[in-house]
Homo-oligomer: A and B are copies of this chain.
């Protein structure tokens, strides 16, 4: 049983109540707690030493990343973050200076994004540091954007460039909060999520939730310089395009809009966010799964993340 199978089993039948608008399975939970014009977003995310960072990662960047990952999920609902609790589990002999710097990095990003840090706890994890962030946000009622709204014919967009995040970006990415809110305010975005496990895997979540398929134009996928460089320097590395589809931790936005809105959106985006690339990478089609189209043919992109040419 892998992680996804376990989650499917655990979330099959969860206790609910009248406050739940959207429960497990989207980027954030959405709750109606009675705020007249807003719904509440609720999210947790954890980073673990040896997995999401190493003992050599600068501590400020560890703290920054821990919060930024959660902020990216608030962005993925077109929301605004409000307040966070920080749980940090530590070996018994900890370096207080190191921990304080983790908080420095986290607090700096919180300040920048208007998030209050309202507490949390320290506990013991003898072998490694684990940081779990719980984050609240808000979204105007009816303006939350789920994964389940993609429609056949929609154009598929991604922000930024994909792949190779491990080289640097996973510690320094900018959660796309302003961009997502602007999208929600100005366009009818049908489905939205953030890319944490790689385009190939994450797009599948939109497709499954929306009961549709996708056709991706290979040449339109924005491949990062880092992914290209790695492929060039190391013949054993993934081809750059495969890296763009399967590397995790891009933390860019993936979304769909009706194809009639695509050109208007691209034009408006370039004026509003001239420094951040926006790419139309394909379209939503009937069926299921992902087809990758290049000049001469199209290939099914398989469930395990890598492209296998038939």
Taking Cβ atoms with an 8 Å cutoff, the residues of A that contact B are: 1, 3, 6-7, 9-11, 14-17, 19-20, 22-26, 28-29, 31, 33-38, 40, 42-46, 48, 50-51, 82-83, 85, 87, 89, 94, 96, 99-100, 103, 107, 110-111, 114-128, 130, 132, 134, 136, 138
Q: A296 CB to closest chain B CB, in angstroms?
A: 41
Partner of A122, one of B7, B26, B29, B33: B7
**With A7-B122, A10-B100, A96-B6 in contact, is A114–B44 under 8 Å at CB?**
no
Contact B29 A132 (CB under 8 A): no
Please, which residue of chain B has its CB at the minimum distance from the CB of A92?
B3
Shortest Cβ gap from A72 to chain B (Å): 13
Q: Find the B residue at minimum CB distance from A119.
A: B24
A11-B119, A16-B116, A20-B116 are known contacts. Are A31 and B83 too (CB-CB below 8 A)?
yes
When distances are taken between beta carbons in the complex, the residues of chain B under 8 Å from A128 are: 125-127
Give the complex CA separation of A271 and B123 in angstroms. 39
Chain B neighbourhood of A10, CB < 8 A: 99-100, 103, 122
Q: How far is the CA of A50 from the CA of B121 in the complex (A)?
A: 18
Name A50's closest neighbour in chain B (CB-CB): B126
